[in-house]
Structure 1
């Protein structure tokens, strides 16, 4: 189920290509799975072999696998609607300011079409309480809604909405087996020697803004084992990831190149150029990714620690992702 060409790509990447470790999982429409784990969970200061039990920092896979999924669960439960204004749930948002942000919808935030900027160095603003308050009061430079601008800020706000409607912190939400916000450092994959925190990160969120917010935010903070993330791909492929109507809404086109939860197959797509037109996927900065192609009846997960020990390396993670996707899809009969 894992073609020889795929295996060769990953063996080369983890032995001669500069990638510390890689964990690949594949699942078909019948629930048959196959996995391949190669390389190291940590290269320095000591080497630790990678195993299937190690938890990876999933980075922006937090967006679809937790935040967007929980928003759609709340829609299915009647607790909110995708076309509700953000200000309905965060009435203190941009208090005493003339801003269009209050009128932007949850749908626009999910699809990155709300006009918010991509990123800001929130971790330089102060402590977690200050950051949480300032995110709501910052006079964000807003574009007109409609254009897709991938935005961590939008998902931070969605995380706040989830906390508001459920009355608890994101860290207190129940997660599927194999996913966690509180990984065991001894069983976690090392990421970067962080210049801001001045230490090697292991079992601690890599994203600086999520770290400054206590480790969990709507845009980052989720960790997962290969089995845990592959189970998400299986649920998306075979059904059961969300109630049927919500899952259908999650996967159909909702904005240029995007569904409510994922990125659709398109030129340059991370899942490769052999995918069917409505295949979906998402990646994370640390080197993670999940893809599902219903037409090819295949889902796959590639988890790596490409930022270990530094993000400033020349390894082509996007090229590897595409090559893995193409070799897997080419093997489907």
Structure 2
């Protein structure tokens, strides 16, 4: 079964979604032997003027930043011996909750716990409503006593990991090297538009959609990375071929290090093997890697353009595409 066969089998739901609900999409499939197929359809932008989408269009990857940048960056630091997964974040960020060093739960957070979302931290917080000075917001994240709760998928985990990367490398996230096919600063004219943001008063194109990442300077550990379909598939292929195998090890019923592990009803569909990992991004992006079947696929869309406040059917679309890629 070729990558092109799999893409052809899965593309009808994408075409239907673009015809009715989503401005544009790119679907890509790659197999372990390097066979690759990509197809783009629809619009990079509907407003303020109509522009077509193509294979090389940059997408705001949103939370794919967590697995395509932050997780690999942390694992490289582990490989270099700079940190261990079970070290506390305070080992890299000694001023974390510095006014309550003995009692603060945040000082007991570990890299493994944050990567696998096994912490007490909340899912999200509207930090951008507290101001837009990046340094002050970083200090606020580090000194806040976060409300405790059961483990949930949390942007805060990865904001803290992003700060740790900056501290350990001495390089701001916006200056961190990323492979070909990824960037922090895309050409707006070559980027898929996201939302007409009521807070910023414009259609977001070539600048990060996530409000907290924007307020933190344009990039954070949870969001800010842009990529092309080939950049995402390159990363997926490297994992298929054995790069960083530790990301395949389950840390909980639904989580690996950074990545989701297959569970009933997940966005990757039901047909993939139990040895599948994946992740999604709020803007309409996603990537999945089935190690048992030797295939990976990515669906990149701009489903939040021009507004997030519309039903786009993205959950059903992702599942339909995943099932068809695997069952082709």
Question: Which category describes the TM-score, using the shorter chain as reference length?
Answer: over 0.9
Question: What does residue 275 of structure 1 align with?
Answer: 272
Local SS of the residue matching 1:270: coil
What TM-score comes out, normalization by structure 2 length? 0.96
Q: Which residue of 1 aligns with 2:146?
A: 140
Kindly report the root-mean-square deviation, in angstroms, between the aligned alpha carbons of the 2 structures: 1.1
The answer to whether structure 1 residue 324 and structure 2 residue 327 are counterparts is no
The alignment covers a number of residue pairs equal to 321
- Give the whole-Å Cα distance in 2 for the aligned partners of 1:79 and 1:312: 43
- Residues 138-174 of structure 1, C-alpha deviation per residue, up to 9 Å, x if partnerless? 111123xxx5311101100001111111111111211
Q: Return the alpha-carbon distance in structure 1 between the equivalents of residues 279 and 136 of structure 2.
A: 30
Aligned to 1:48: 51
What's 1:66 paired with? 69
Structure 1 residue 3: Cα displacement: 4.7
Q: Distance in 1 between matches of 2:9 and 2:191?
A: 28
Contact 2:21 2:313 in 1 (8 A): no
The correspondence of residues 1-333 of structure 1 with structure 2, limited to 5 A, is: 1=4, 2-15=6-19, 17-97=20-100, 98-126=103-131, 127-143=133-149, 147-240=150-243, 247-331=244-328
Encode CA deviations 1:296-316: one digit per residue, 9 max, x unaligned: 111001000000000001111
SS in structure 2 at match of 1:233:
helix
Unmatched 5+ residue regions in structure 2? Answer: none
Deviation at 1:260, TM superposition (A): 0.5
Does the CA contact (< 8 Å) of 1:179 and 1:228 recur in 2?
yes
In the TM superposition, residue 5 of structure 1 has moved relative to its aligned partner by 3.9
After the TM superposition, list the runs of 4 or more consecutive aligned residues in structure 1 that deviate by more than 3 angstroms: 2-5
Contact 2:22 2:312 in 1 (8 A): yes
Structure 1, unmatched stretches of 5+, are: 241-246
Does the CA-based 8 Å contact 2:60-2:226 persist in structure 1? yes
- Kept after mapping to 1: 8 A contact 2:29/2:295: yes
